[in-house]
Homo-oligomer: A and B are copies of this chain.
Amino acid sequence: MSLTTETIAQDFPKLSLLTGEDSAARQLSFGVNEPCPAMGIARPRSTEELAALVKRCNDEGQPLIVGGGLTNMVGATLAKPEDLIISTELMTGIEEINTDDRVVVVEAGAKLQDVHDAVAEHGLALEADLGARGTATIGGMISTNAGGNRVVRYGMMREQVLGLEVVLADGTVLSSMNRVLKNNAGYDLKQLFIGSEGTLGIVTRAVLRLRELPAHVSTLFLALPSYEAVCSLLRHLDHGSAGTMSTFEVMWNSYYRLVTTPPAEGKPPLAQDYPFYVLAEIGGADKDTTEALALRLVETATEKELIADGLLAKNEAEREKLWALRDDIGQVLQLYPMAAFDISVPLSKMPQYLEDMEAALRAEYPDNRSVIFGHLGDSNIHVIVGPGTDKDEDLHRVEELVYAPLPEVAGTVSAEHGVGLYKKNFLHLSRTPEEIEIMKRLKRQFDPKNILNRGKIFEL
């Protein structure tokens, strides 16, 4: 069953609806350059308009794909010709900032950077940050439970969400717009819609908790002699900063060389000879105290031989240059054709995992090239592997080799990006059959006609 865009246009005359060439011209997803094949793109302006449309689609069994900033990394926004896309691009409102309650209320289509800017004017911060901040929407970040680079201190997007308004598959508006940190009146239903990638309901509005905007952030860039030093430094900085270390990013030597050697534009602030590089940030109350603390922590870390070399960014420009290296992920295209991975491995098991995985890779692909970098503070690494051939089946084989050793080390096939389409075939490596069966039961309960992001995460 389905609808046609003509029927939708007729029955919802006020709804902004893109069809034909207007729809085909739209991108499906970051990096996907083919014409959008969906029947059309509906752009509701309000929860009520969205809910009415969803109700109608449910009545007709019309499958829906929800799109926000389209920066999804696992194909969750990819659509087929029979799909109707619902875009939140006209629901971008930042409705309220309350400085006593320290919350912001937003529509799902609000962009992360816009929220950052709006709350910063009040000395507040939404402590969730990632590279796509200019494009990613709050709704998308909630539906994927986005991670990013402040998780080790502040948690995932889930931990920033106090309240949600969602539209269920049958058009019901479920309002759980809680505004307080402590609310144990019944089941915390909003948790179902965080991280379930739009398959159980559509996020339309959210209440997000805010923190005090740090008066000053000190950025350290350090070269380390070993993996053990990395683990020790993580605790050293976290302990020594009294938990104000908000970021702990690691680059293996492979990635560091990649982003500091032509054709990359970046220049190496430290010699390229070390096995590990750490970009760490400490959020403090004032510049002098925070910088003094950072330098003292570097001093004590050096005494403990955790650091071989290092520097403290002197100003915002230097800080941005350091982040530009970390964020110059486009350089991984030098490994093309390659497979990119977003995995977590417990820190205690990381060396074992990488050793086993890299040995297996080398055995089958002796010319493979790989780089590793990531949010190691929260166990998340991004591994990019170019097998050294140009066959699709080799990229698939690489996926198997990278994922296979994960269950044994209690790692996960998806740290922050979600499952979407691309990781469906590997979900069983990270979740038990009982868990997957319960996910399917929940899906059937919340979306009996299977219209919401059909085929994402698992097949029913």
Task: Tell me, yes or no, whether A418 is within 8 Å of chain B by CB.
Answer: yes
Chain B binder among A112-120, A148-156, A355-363, A364-372: A148-156
Least Cβ–Cβ distance between A152 and chain B, in angstroms: 7
Residues in B with CB closer than 8 Å to A346 are 98, 100-101, 103, 179-180
Known: A101-B347, A243-B212. A414 touches B180 (CB 8 A): no
Asked if B185 contacts A101 (CB within 8 A), the reply is no
Q: How far is the CA of A414 from the CA of B178 in the complex (A)?
A: 12
Tell me which of A15-23, A63-71, A436-444 binds B: A436-444
Contact residue among B123, B188, B414, B438 (Cβ-Cβ distance under 8 Å from A145) = B188
- Number of A interface residues, CB 8 Å? 93
The 9 closest A-B pairs by CB, nearest first: A191-B191, A185-B430, A181-B378, A212-B239, A100-B348, A180-B344, A182-B415, A180-B379, A185-B414
Inter-chain contacts of A347 with B (CB < 8 A) = 100-101
The answer to whether the Cβ of A324 comes within 8 Å of any Cβ in the partner chain is: no
Task: Evaluate contact between B183 and A415: CB separation under 8 angstroms.
Answer: yes
Shortest CB-to-CB span from A349 to chain B, Å, is 8
Given contacts A180-B410, A183-B414, A243-B243, 6 further A-B contacts (CB under 8 A): A156-B182, A180-B344, A182-B344, A182-B416, A187-B192, A241-B285
CB of A231 within 8 Å of the partner chain: yes
* Given known contacts A175-B434, A243-B211, A445-B445, A184 and B285 CB-to-CB distance under 8 angstroms: no
A binding-site residues for B, Cβ under 8 Å: 98-103, 123, 144-145, 147, 151-152, 155-156, 158-159, 172-189, 191-192, 194-196, 200, 211-215, 231, 235, 238-244, 283-285, 290, 293, 344-348, 375, 378-380, 410-419, 423, 427, 430-432, 434-436, 438-439, 441-442, 445, 457-458
Given the complex of chains A and B, what is the CA–CA distance between A172 and B436 in angstroms? 13
Asked if A379 and B192 make an inter-chain contact with CB atoms under 8 angstroms apart, the answer reads no
Which residues of the partner chain B approach A439 to less than 8 Å between Cβ atoms? 186-187, 189
Q: Is the Cβ of A415 less than 8 Å from the Cβ of B180?
A: yes
Min CB distance, A299 to chain B, in Å?
Answer: 14
Question: Contact between B414 and A184 (Cβ–Cβ < 8 Å)?
Answer: yes
Q: Is the CB of A192 within 8 A of B195?
A: no
Q: Which residues of B are found within 8 Å of A418, using beta-carbon distances? A: 184
Q: Which of A176, A378, A412, A418 has the most CB of B within 10 A?
A: A412
